Structure 1
Amino acid sequence: MTRVRLAGSMSTPSILPTTHTVVSGDTLSGIAQTYNRTLADLLRWNPINDPNQIQVGQVINVADSGEDLEYTVVEGDTVSELAQRFGKRWIDIAAVNRLDDINLITVGQKLIIPAQGVAR
């Protein structure tokens, strides 16, 4: 299983981190760099014939949907909020990270955001 590293910050997308919606000024190379990807990754995951011809509003896949994410906790984060941000269940995040108390996460702590549900 592959893991993608995301650092929590204001620049971290608040939507699912598997897609990026192109805005004016975006380039495919810049998008790849933002998400710590290669241009080849984005070309493999998207039906793009010419990497120089992306359109404003176009949705770009920036992660393989089967990848777990490694997220670094920042001030103000909660497990419940992260679950909502990433479209996951808080119980799955708690289970994969072996959190006894979801209210006890700390700034700088690394959490795995699982690609698949794990808790029953």
Structure 2
Amino acid sequence: MRARVAFIALAALALVAAGDPKTETVHVVEDGETLKGIANRAGVPLSIIAEANGLAEPYVVKRGQKLVIPRQRSHTVKPGESLSRIAERYGVPQSQIALANGIDNPGTIRSGQRLIIPAVMPERAARAATTPTTPYFRRPHDGKVLLGWARRADGGGHEGVDFAVNAGDMVRASASGTVLFAGAEPKRFGQLVIIDHGNGWQTRYGHLARVTVATGDPVKAGERIGIGGQGGVATRPELHFEIRRNGTPVNPAPRLRLAD
């Protein structure tokens, strides 16, 4: 009898754990639920859940729909650790960790660096994440184009678009996503924001006077992410904007519908 009671208690605990919004990895939508409410209870950014399940704005969900809830972790690099060893530890492809953290060279990680460890999604979500869909990009600022795309065969040139701004202007996210980096970039851009839009797409916003978002923040298209200015090596108030796909610069002009 005692064993049976213990078994029932364990079963009840298992049911509670399976439905715990802070730990569940799959959520079945109930009547009246919204994606925003599900994301808030799960403690996972709405944009991350939407991306994992192939949902687009206005993010309508229906009763009985199964949603994958990707759980993101972090890791602080220890002395002597390599990116490949960290990837093996968490069972996440090295390329995904590099992409999530904007790492171009896997050998450049340093002791004490905090890395985002992206969630390993179930097969259904993984297929959605690898579908070659392109976000709808909007202009991050309405200023005139000061300098356009000029990519050379040797990989040099100008890898984005520079917009004229006035000091204090708002700079907005070109598409919805998650902030991968927000802070000082010492070589060229001053205050810089990098946003991940899923499926390998990223945007970069440089020469900002200051940033108004933090790493890990979910952002929506059109949301303010920084204040325009003359940061880094800029000689005038301007915004340097880039679109990248799997780390490779892409010409923003046709995607922003800029005049030739």
TM range (shorter): 0.3 to 0.5
Q: Which has the higher contact order (CA 8 A, sep 6+)?
A: 1
* Structure of larger gyration radius: 2
The normalised TM-score by structure 1 is 0.45
Structure with more strand by fraction? 2
